[in-house]
């Protein structure tokens, strides 16, 4: 019996069960490098997998970000939840400490840094990368998705962008005409009074026709917008009945 238990223990220890992993993502800022803390969610797979970098809102990394990462992992994606605040000495900026436009534009470089980091990992398919932002992080992600030069200069271009109830006011600085550089989903909630739908519709009116941009508006809350983003755009990388992948 003791020998049998020893064999079971060895088999268990050798099984490919990968836990959530803490890591760091280097990003250049004002002439020096800061190390962003991040949590990596990695499915067990012998093959490189598509990956999604997730960016939090004004309150920092929250359960909505980590739950989405777990969901993506269960679908066969690598997910990286990036903490843009801790390395900069920030915690919660939802009140009077709301970031400036310059701070938001600087944070957009976090997206390029995260995509570059993911693209260098042996377990990631560097040709199938996406990024996802929530609220303030969604506004920053919108800067990355719509900025005329971002996709040309990025070391690891994204295949898709998902913006969940984004702060669309951040895009006002980009000019009157906008272009989408990758398939983009914007998920909003009709009852959301923090990031109004009307503000984002004004942004959509500035996007050139023919751009690959899709808008999903839930008639409920921001939570419903999160679910809409997951259901409408991020699906399993392997083809399954009733599902399709934006990264295949």
Q: What is the pLDDT of residues 84-93, one digit of tens each?
A: 999 998 888 8
pLDDT at 84: 93
Residue 237 has pLDDT above 50, yes or no: no
The pLDDT tens digits for 3-57 are 433 433 333 333 344 668 999 999 988 888 999 999 999 999 999 999 999 999 9
pLDDT at 125: 95
246 or 134: whose pLDDT is higher? 134
d(CA 59, CA 80): 18
User: Which one of 93-102, 138-147, 187-196 scores highest in mean pLDDT?
Assistant: 138-147
pLDDT at 238: 40
For 217, other C-beta atoms within 10 Å of its C-beta total: 16
CATH 3.40.50.1820 fits 35-232, yes or no: yes
pLDDT band per the 50, 70, 90 thresholds, residue 218: low
pLDDT at 152: 45
Range from 73-82, 93-102, 110-119, 229-238 carrying the lowest mean pLDDT: 229-238
State the DSSP string of the chain.
-HHHHHHHHHHHHHS-----EEEEEEEEETTEEEEEEEEEE----SS-EEEEEEE-BTTBS-HHHHHHHHHHHHHT-EEEEEESSGGGT-S--SSTTPPPHHHHHHHHHHHHHHHHHHHT-TTEEEEEEEEEEETHHHHHHHHHHH-TTHHHH-SS--SEEEEES--GGGGGGG-S-B--SS-EEEEEETT-SSS-HHHHHHHHTTBPTT--EEEEEESS-HHHHHHHHHHHT---SS--TT---S--
User: For the chain, what is the mean pLDDT?
Assistant: 76
Residue 236 has pLDDT above 60, yes or no: no
Q: Domain spans of the chain?
A: 35-232
pLDDT at 6: 40
**Do 230 and 68 touch, CB atoms closer than 8 A?**
yes
pLDDT at 78: 96
pLDDT band per the 50, 70, 90 thresholds, residue 197: confident
247 or 61: whose pLDDT is higher? 61
pLDDT at 34: 92
């Amino acid at each position: 019996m003791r020998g049998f238990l020893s064999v079971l223990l060895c088999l268990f220890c050798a099984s490919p069960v990968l836990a959530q992993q803490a890591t760091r993502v280097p990003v250049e800022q004002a002439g020096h490098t800061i190390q962003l803390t991040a949590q990596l969610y990695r499915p067990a797979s012998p093959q490189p997998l598509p990956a999604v970098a997730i960016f939090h809102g004004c309150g920092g990394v929250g359960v909505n970000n980590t739950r989405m990462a777990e969901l993506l992992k269960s679908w066969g994606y690598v997910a990286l939840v990036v903490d843009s605040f801790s390395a900069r000495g920030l915690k919660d900026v939802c009140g009077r400490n709301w970031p400036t436009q310059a701070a938001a534009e600087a944070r957009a470089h976090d997206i390029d840094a995260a995509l570059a980091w993911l693209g260098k990992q042996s377990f990631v398919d560097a040709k199938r990368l996406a990024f996802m932002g929530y609220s303030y992080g969604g506004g920053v992600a919108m800067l990355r998705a719509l900025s005329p030069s971002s996709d040309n200069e990025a070391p690891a271009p994204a295949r898709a962008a998902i913006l969940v109830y984004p702060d669309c006011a951040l895009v006002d600085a980009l000019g009157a005409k906008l272009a989408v550089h990758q398939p983009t989903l914007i998920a909003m909630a009709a009852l959301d009074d923090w990031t109004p739908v009307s503000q984002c519709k004004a942004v959509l009116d500035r996007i050139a026709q023919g751009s690959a941009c899709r808008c999903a508006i839930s008639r409920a809350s921001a939570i419903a917008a999160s679910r809409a983003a997951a259901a409408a755009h991020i699906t399993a990388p392997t083809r399954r009945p009733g599902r399709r992948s934006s990264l295949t």
